[in-house]
Amino acid sequence: MSIRYYSTNRNLKNVAGITPFTGKVAFKEALLKGQAEDEGLFMPDTIPQLKLKDIQKLKGKPYSDTALLIAKAFLADEFSPNTLKKVVKDSYNYSVPMEEIRPKTYIMRLDQGPTASFKDFAARMMARLMSNCRPKCERLNVLVATSGDTGSAVGEAFKGVAGIDVTILYPQNEVSGMQKKQLDTIGGNIQALSVCGKFDDCQNLVKQAFSDSDLLKFNLTSANSINFGRILPQIIYYVYAYAQLSENGEDAIFSVPSGNFGDALGCEYARRMGLPVAKLVMPTNENDEFPIYLNTGKYKKVSPSRACISNAMNVGHPSNLARFFDLYGGTVDRVGQVHRYPDLQKMRKYIFSVSITDEQTRETIKSVYKRYHVILEQHGAVGWAGLEEYFKRFPEQKLAICLETAHPAKFPEEIEKLLGLTIPVPESMKSIDQREGSAVAISNDYNNFKNYLLKKLKIKE
Ligand X SMILES: *Cc1c(COP(=O)(O)O)cnc(C)c1O
Q: Does 120 bind ligand X (CB under 6 A)?
A: no
Q: Does 180 bind ligand X (CB under 6 A)?
A: no
Q: Does 236 bind ligand X (CB under 6 A)?
A: no
Q: Does 411 bind ligand X (CB under 6 A)?
A: no
CB of 312 to ligand X, least distance (A): 3
Q: Are 273 and 265 in contact (CB under 8 A)?
A: no
Smaller CB distance to ligand X: residue 20 or 283?
Answer: 283
Q: Does 258 bind ligand X (CB under 6 A)?
A: yes
CB of 449 to ligand X, least distance (A): 26
What distances in angstroms separate CA 144 from CA 41, 190, 202, 407, 411, one per listed residue?
18, 11, 9, 23, 24
- 33 CB-contact burial (10 Å; exposed 0-12 / middle 13-18 / buried 19+): middle
Q: Are 163 and 461 in contact (CB under 8 A)?
A: yes
Instruction: Report d(CA 401, CA 398) in Å as an integer.
Output: 10
Closest CA to 134 of 71, 218, 50, 77: 218
Catalytic residue among 24, 28, 119, 410: 119
Q: Across 152-251, where does the E strand assignment appear?
A: 164-171, 190-195, 220-222
Stretch that binds ligand X, among 92-100, 179-187, 260-268, 294-302 (CB under 6 A): 260-268
Instruction: Report d(CA 265, CA 271) in Å as an integer.
Output: 10
Instruction: Report d(CA 444, CA 173) in Å as an integer.
Output: 13
| HSE, side-chain direction, 13 A CA sphere, residue 241 | 33
Q: In this structure, how many other beta carbons lie within 10 angstroms of the beta carbon of residue 247?
A: 9
Smaller CB distance to ligand X: residue 319 or 367?
Answer: 319
CB of 137 to ligand X, least distance (A): 35
Residue 159 catalytic?
no
Instruction: Report d(CA 320, CA 389) in Å as an integer.
Output: 24
Smaller CB distance to ligand X: residue 31 or 209?
Answer: 31
Amino acid at 419: L
- Taking CB under 6 A as the criterion, the residue among 38, 78, 149, 165 binding ligand X is 149
CB of 80 to ligand X, least distance (A): 30
Q: Does 238 bind ligand X (CB under 6 A)?
A: no
Q: Are 193 and 162 in contact (CB under 8 A)?
A: no
Instruction: Report d(CA 47, CA 73) in Å as an integer.
Output: 9
Q: Does 287 bind ligand X (CB under 6 A)?
A: no
- Taking CB under 6 A as the criterion, the residue among 4, 28, 119, 128 binding ligand X is 119
Instruction: Report d(CA 227, CA 32) in Å as an integer.
Output: 9
Amino acid at 340: R
Q: In a 3-state reduction of DSSP, which class is residue 101?
A: strand
Angle between helices 177-184 and 149-158 (to 10 degrees): 20
Instruction: Report d(CA 140, CA 365) in Å as an integer.
Output: 42
Q: Does 151 bind ligand X (CB under 6 A)?
A: no
Smaller CB distance to ligand X: residue 156 or 263?
Answer: 263
Q: Does 262 bind ligand X (CB under 6 A)?
A: yes
What's the distance, Cα to Cα, between the start and end of the chain in Å? 34
Q: Does 355 bind ligand X (CB under 6 A)?
A: no
Instruction: Report d(CA 119, CA 373) in Å as an integer.
Output: 26
Q: Do you find a cis peptide bond into 395, omega within 30 degrees of 0? A: no
Stretch that binds ligand X, among 255-263, 289-297, 339-347, 452-460 (CB under 6 A): 255-263
CB of 353 to ligand X, least distance (A): 12
Q: Does 405 bind ligand X (CB under 6 A)?
A: yes
CB of 347 to ligand X, least distance (A): 17
CB of 209 to ligand X, least distance (A): 24
Smaller CB distance to ligand X: residue 96 or 220?
Answer: 96
Q: In a 3-state reduction of DSSP, which class is residue 63?
A: helix
CB of 258 to ligand X, least distance (A): 4
Q: Does 155 bind ligand X (CB under 6 A)?
A: no
- Taking CB under 6 A as the criterion, the residue among 5, 170, 261, 449 binding ligand X is 261
Q: In this structure, how many other beta carbons lie within 10 angstroms of the beta carbon of residue 360?
A: 20
Within 437-456, the residues that bind ligand X by CB under 6 A are none
- Taking CB under 6 A as the criterion, the residue among 277, 379, 418, 428 binding ligand X is 379
Q: Are 150 and 117 in contact (CB under 8 A)?
A: no
Q: Does 259 bind ligand X (CB under 6 A)?
A: yes
Stretch 68-107: interaction string toward ligand X, x if CB under 6 A: ----------------------------------------
Stretch that binds ligand X, among 253-261, 293-301, 353-361, 447-455 (CB under 6 A): 253-261
Stretch that binds ligand X, among 157-165, 243-251, 257-265, 358-366 (CB under 6 A): 257-265
Q: Give the catalytic positions in this structure.
A: 119
Residues engaged in binding ligand X (CB under 6 A): 117, 119, 149, 257-264, 312-313, 379, 405-406
